[in-house]
Structure 1
Amino acid sequence: MINGYCLEKYYPVKKIFEDYFLKEREIGASFAIYKEGKPLIDLYGGLKNKNNKSWEENTIVNIFSATKGIYEIIVSILIDQNILDLEKSVSYYWTAFKESNKREIKLKHILSHQSGLYRFKKKITQKDLLDWNKIITILENQEPDHPCGEKTYYHAKTHGFLIGEIIKKTTGKTLGELIFELLSKKLKLDFFIGTPQKKLSNIAFLYEEKTEKKLLSEFNAFNNPGHEINFYNKEDWQMAEIPSMNGHGNARSIAKIYDIFVNDLILEKNILLSKSSIKKCLTESISRIDGSLMMPIRWSNVGLILRGGWLFGKYKESFGHNGWGGSLGFADPNLGIGVAYTTNKINPTMGSDLRIINLLKEFYKLH
């Protein structure tokens, strides 16, 4: 039922993962923990799609907002290369932000969800998300909801478009192109924003546990457009670049990225970037209740979540990003590890996903 690698010491963790499939808590998933380039755990199993095809070693799946953590590592690399500057006004990179209502917004305000541009105020469809220029025009013509820095509202869907356009204007490349160049190709990984045609057959089909949804008349960070699982299973979506929410990868690739990033921090390996730049990017921006999520979230300067409770393991120094549905990736500087979980059985709530928490509690118990 499940395949992959697991150090004997962590067999109790493997047993929990295996039980998910036996008890039908999972359909298809991968779970990995890497330390200094070597796997402690690298497991995968279950079914990839409706044709009863098995989840394979190179199967990838949409990880939704867990994508943000990966492109925030790209942003950190560009900061290290002095291409981007957290303290610079966005208008320095993007002339549309010279308008008075956006002039004060700095790069760090967008990254740490304090820009006021956290939602689309105009009704948009799923199909609109595939049209980069249309979305950018909407955001350019939109008033922020509050003065920058005064409030924190998670930019669920707008974040990747805003950051992606800044990167496009400074490097001439899309976020997807930079992910491929600086991570996937360089490190030989399966992770994409804008999945190439030849990799589409590797994508797992998404299944959603239906829940009763409350319909809110006012547009918020999540409901315009609302989630539509059928749309996310289409090739148009899989091949497009919607950076906030359509990265496709597997646990091995995501865990390896966080592993390299955290060891550039603690061992100063300089594989991706310097320790000093990582420290700057991991500095807490501000601690307050997030108005979109209605809970306290500690955002770093680049938008990585700091101290994410048991979702990010035992230690408060851990950082990363989770996504709608249950996928996540994080780094633990205490153990020097990168951790990731990906799944095609979508948990539709915004709450903590017990599938990963159970695995992590068992893993940390063995340390």
Structure 2
Amino acid sequence: MTEIHGTVAPGFEGVRDAFAANWEHHGEVGASVCATVAGEVVVDLWGGTATFDDGDHDWQEDTIINVWSTTKTMSFLCCLLLADRGELDLYEPVATYWPEFAAAGKENIATRHILSHSAGLSGWDEPLQRDDLLDPAKLVQLHAAQAPWWEPGTASGYHAISQGYLLGEIVQRITGESLGQFFADEIAGPLDADFHIGTGPEHDDRIAHVIAPDAPLGADTGVLQPGSLAVRTLANPALDASFSSTKPWRRAEIPAAGGHGNARSVAAIHTLTANNGVANGQRIISEEGLARIFDEQIRGMDQVLGTDLVLGMGFGLPGPMLPLPNPRSCYWGGWGGSLAIIDMDANISFSYVMNKMESTTTGDLRGAGPLMATYAALMA
């Protein structure tokens, strides 16, 4: 039986049991799970094994890993913070901040469209190679010149990789800093959270490698027909998850998919969200600023994922995809299974992070079990 390390508050022992059951029932290899309630850590657990640059070792308390699209939640917070400060109007055309973006019929696309995956820029017209993902300047220039693939604001189409570069350019134009640096200075630093968008060499010896899924990115969507939006979005360039374990990927700022952290750091950051802008003894953003999350932008079948979504300002909202128990809840997750759940009614921040990836882009049972156990503990 896998040894589970860490702590649980009295009454939350069932979360430990659900987490441990992942090794017995779901083939877990290495993982961490964390939950905070009203700003207090009630679950902080890790266990299993992981492969690092120098070989296999136990998953440690400070192990971090690429969490794929769970990174997007950090990009969302950067934009919400700038909006809260009056520096970014989420409804104003992106071209207000990035004039070149207005080309090819994009003069009315606003940041809200990018946050809600409805900008029509889920991929690139130009054929790309894997290493192009390490060149944000090239990718944003291509998108500045490109026409949208559908009428912006009419439907979502998951901007799997592109969203981060687009939001990153907006943040850069407004602040003069990269999104990764802005996030480090304004959010992760004040919260003392061990999460990085652009991860320096000083962290290499504790970054776990992912165990890549057998299927390519997007194979779980069921809509990968030749020429479809899913193929155009997810297969250009084709992305092997093992690329994330290379140093060039770690160093690059890939704000939609390249963040490195663990469940503790993800939960710590979203303690801010769960507690209406206050965490680690500091107010980072106003309650009104966070309320923008629930400004619904789009609902319906996503054209890339083939999943029924309700999307606010970046975050997913309760709906058919994830029927969370409280209305002021939001979420996002990452390719392979990582997860961030925030319940602002119950002041819960929950995260699950692992190394063994499933092919899914929409979560799996390994995160769901500990999440349900967390809610069960609160209702006991």
**Which bin holds the TM-score, normalised by the shorter protein?**
over 0.9
TM-score by length of 2: 0.90
Gapped regions of structure 1 (runs ≥ 5): none
- Tell me the equivalent position of 2:365: 354
Alignment partners' CA distance in 1, 2:311 and 2:362: 17
Aligned residue number for residue 32 of structure 1: 34
Distance 1:348 1:88 in 2: 37
Aligned residue number for residue 335 of structure 2: 324
Asked if the contact 1:311/1:353 (under 8 Å) is kept, the reply is no
Structure 2: distance between partners of 1:329 and 1:31: 10
1:161 Cα deviation after fit: 0.5
User: Which amino acid in the other structure matches residue 305 of structure 1?
Assistant: G
Q: How many Å separate the matches in 1 of 2:122 and 2:298?
A: 17
Cα distance in 1 for residues equivalent to 2:72 and 2:29: 24
- Identify the residue that residue 222 of structure 1 maps to in structure 2: 234
**Which residue in 2 is equivalent to 1:185?**
189
Which residue identity lines up with residue 30 of structure 1 in the other structure?
A: S
Aligned match for 1:70, one of 64, 71, 74: 74
| CA apart distance, 1:24 | 6.5
- 1:25-60 deviation line (CA, Å, top 9, x unaligned): 211111000123321101011112163311111111
Offset, 1:137: 1.7
Contact 1:312 1:319 in 2 (8 A): no
Query: Equivalent of 1:205, from 203, 209, 230?
Result: 209
Bigger Cα displacement from structure 2, 144-153 vs 215-224: 215-224
The residue matched to 1:305 in structure 2 has which SS?
A: coil
Instruction: Assess, with a 3 A threshold, how the Cα gap between structure 1 residues 288 and 24 changes in structure 2: closer, same or farther.
Output: closer
Moved more, 148-157 or 205-214: 205-214
2:270 to 258, 281, 294: 258
Sort the Cα spacing of 1:34 and 1:311 in 2 relative to 1 into closer, same or farther, 3 A: farther
- 1:249-306 Cα offsets, whole Å, 9 max, x none, are 1111111111122212699x87111111211232111222211112221111x21111
Q: Tell which deviates more after alignment, 348-357 or 312-321.
A: 312-321
Tell me how far apart the structure 1 counterparts of residues 252 and 238 of structure 2 sit (CA, whole Å).
Answer: 18
Residue 341 of structure 1 is matched in structure 2 by: 352
Paired residue for 1:364? 375
Q: Which residue of 1 aligns with 2:100?
A: 96
> In structure 2, which of residues 257, 269, 283 is the aligned counterpart of residue 271 of structure 1?
283
The one-letter code of the counterpart of 2:135 is D
Alpha-carbon deviation of 1:313? Answer: 4.8
Counterpart selection for 2:126 from 122, 129, 134: 122
Q: CA deviation at 1:247?
A: 0.7
Identity %: 31
- State whether residues 116 and 148 of structure 1, in contact with CA within 8 Å, keep that contact through their aligned partners in structure 2: yes
CA distance in structure 2 between the partners assigned to 1:144 and 1:317 by the alignment: 32
Shift of 1:192: 0.5
Q: RMSD value over aligned CA atoms?
A: 2.1
Report the 3-state secondary structure (helix = DSSP H, G, I; strand = E; otherwise coil) of the residue aligned with 1:220. helix
2:316 touches 2:331 (CA, 8 Å); kept in 1?
yes
Q: Secondary structure at the match of 1:287?
A: strand
- What's the CA shift string for 1:221-245, capped at 9, x where partnerless? 2221222122111011011011111
What residue identity is the alignment partner of 2:343?
A: D
Structure 2 match to 1:292: 304
* Matching residue within 233, 247, 250 for 1:238: 250
Q: How many residues were matched structurally?
A: 365
CA contact (8 A) 1:310 1:357 kept: no
> Displacement of 1:308 after TM fit?
5.7
Query: Unaligned regions of 5+ residues in structure 2, if any?
Result: none
CA distance in 2: counterparts of 1:100 and 1:357, whole angstroms: 42
* Match of residue 83 from structure 2: 79
1:216 CA drift (Å): 4.8
- The TM-score with structure 1 as length reference comes to 0.93
Contact conserved, 1:290 with 1:296, CA < 8 A, in 2?
yes
Task: Tell me the secondary structure at the aligned position of residue 168 of structure 2.
Answer: helix
| 1:167 aligned partner | 171
Q: Match of 1:281?
A: 293
**Larger deviation: 347-356 or 210-219?**
210-219
Q: Is the 8 A contact 1:220 1:292 kept in 2?
A: no
Residue deviations 1:292-330 (CA, integer Å, cap 9, x gap): 112221111x21111166867533431021111100112
Contact kept? 1:2, 1:45, Cα under 8 Å = yes
Deviation at 1:98, TM superposition (A): 2.7
User: Whole-Å Cα distance in 2 between the matches of residues 278 and 23 of structure 1?
Assistant: 37
Contact kept, 8 Å, 1:265 with 1:279, in 2: the verdict is no
Instruction: Find the counterpart in structure 1 of residue 6 from structure 2.
Output: 4
Distance 1:292 1:92 in 2: 28
C-alpha distance in structure 1 between counterparts of 2:258 and 2:323, whole Å: 21
